[in-house]
Amino acid sequence: MNYLEYQPYRTMNFTINKFQTIFIGVWVIFNAISSSGQDFGIESQLPYSMYDLKYNVLIDKEINNQYIGDLDVSSLLEKYDGFDYDVRYNQPLQFAEVIDKDYLMNEGKWENVPDGRIWRLKLSSEEALSINLKLKNVVLPGESRIWLVDKYSTSISGPYNQNDVTEDGILWTSIVEGNTVVLELFEDSNFSGQSTLTVDEVNYGFIDFSTGSSGNCQKDVVCAEGDNFRDPIRAVAWFTIEGRFLGSGTLLNNTSGDETPFFLTSDHCFKPEFDPASTVIYWNYQSATCGDRSGSLVDNQIGAQIRARRAVGDFVLLELKHKPFNFSNVYYAGWDRKNEPVRVVSIHHPKGDVKSINTSSRKVISTIGYNSDIFDKNGSYWMVNWRSGANEPVSSGSGMFDSTSGLLIGSLDGGKSGCDDGDQELNDWYAKFNFNWDGGGEPNNSLKYWLDPLNTNAENLSGKNPEIASQNLIISRKARFRLNEAAMYAQIVQAADFVKSGGELRLVEHSEGSSLMPINQLQETPNDFKDLEKLKEDFDNKTIKELEDLFKSTDEVKLIEYLKEIKDEK
Q: Check residue 488 and give its pLDDT.
A: 43
Q: 158 pLDDT band (50/70/90 cuts)?
A: confident
Q: Is the pLDDT of residue 122 over 90?
A: yes
**Measuring CA to CA, which residue among 128, 320, 309 is closest to residue 237?**
320
pLDDT of residue 548: 57
pLDDT at residue 164 greater than cutoff 60:
yes
Q: What is the pLDDT of residue 405?
A: 96
More confident residue, 399 or 515: 399
Which burial class, exposed, middle or buried, applies to 421 when counting CB atoms under 10 A from its CB (0-12, 13-18, 19+)? exposed
Name the residue with higher pLDDT: 26 or 166. 166
> Is the pLDDT assigned to residue 487 strictly greater than 90?
no
Characterize the bridge pairing of strands 156-160 and 381-388.
unpaired
Which tens digits make up the pLDDT trace of 8-34? 333 333 222 222 232 333 333 333 222
Residue 83, pLDDT above cutoff 60: no
pLDDT above 70 (res 412) = yes
Q: Which residue has the higher pLDDT, 445 or 56?
A: 445
Instruction: Say what the pLDDT of residue 135 is.
Output: 97
109, 119 contact by CB (below 8 A): yes
Output the CA–CA distances (angstroms, integers) from residue 333 to 204, 273, 461, in the order listed: 34, 29, 9
Portion of the chain with pLDDT greater than 70, in percent:
68
* pTM (global) more than 0.85: no
Q: How confident is the model at residue 453 (pLDDT cuts 50, 70, 90)?
A: very high
pLDDT level of residue 55 (50, 70, 90 thresholds)? very low
The reported pLDDT for the residue numbered 560 is 54
Name the E strands within 54-179: 65-67, 93-94, 96-103, 109-113, 116-124, 130-139, 145-150, 156-160, 171-172, 176-177
Average pLDDT over residues 239-255: 96
Query: For 22-26, 42-46, 267-271, which range has the lowest pLDDT when averaged over its residues?
Result: 22-26
Count the residues in the chain: 570
DSSP tag of 516 = E
Q: Which span out of 15-29, 155-169, 286-300, 303-317 was modeled with the highest average pLDDT?
A: 303-317
Mean of the pLDDT values across residues 85-100? 73
248: closest CA among 328, 314, 168, 340?
314
Higher pLDDT, residue 569 or 440: 440
Q: What is the pLDDT of residue 483?
A: 30
Nearest to 474 by CA among 504, 517, 514: 517
Whether residue 491 contacts residue 445, with contact meaning beta carbons closer than 8 Å, is answered with: no
Determine the average pLDDT of the residues in 160-166: 94
User: Could you tell me the pLDDT band of residue 115, with boundaries at 50, 70 and 90?
Assistant: confident
b/e 507-529 (16+ beta carbons within 10 angstroms → b): bbbbebebbbbbbbebeeeeeeb
Residue 64 CA, distance from chain mean position = 30
Tell me if the bond preceding 324 is cis, omega within 30° of 0.
no
Q: Give the pLDDT of residue 166.
A: 96
| b/e 345-382 (16+ beta carbons within 10 angstroms → b) | bbbbbbbbbbbbbbbbeeebbbbebbeeeeeeeebbbb
Distance CA 174, CA 46 (A): 16
> Is the confidence at residue 216, as pLDDT, over 80?
yes
Work out the mean pLDDT of the chain and round it to a whole number. Answer: 76
**pLDDT at position 301:** 93
Q: pLDDT by residue (tens digit) across 169-178?
A: 999 999 998 8
More confident: 516 or 386? 386
What pLDDT digit, counting tens, does each position of 359-374 carry? Answer: 998 999 999 988 899 9
What's the pLDDT band for 563 if we cut at 50, 70, 90? low
Amino acid identity for residue 412 in this structure? L
Which amino acids are annotated catalytic?
Answer: 268, 314, 396
Distances (CA, A) of 102 to 20, 202, 277: 38, 10, 20
What 3 state SS string does 412-437 have? EEEECCCCCCCHHHCEEEEEEHHHHH
Better-scored residue on pLDDT, 304 or 149 = 304
Report pLDDT for 190: 95
pLDDT at residue 360, rounded to an integer? 94
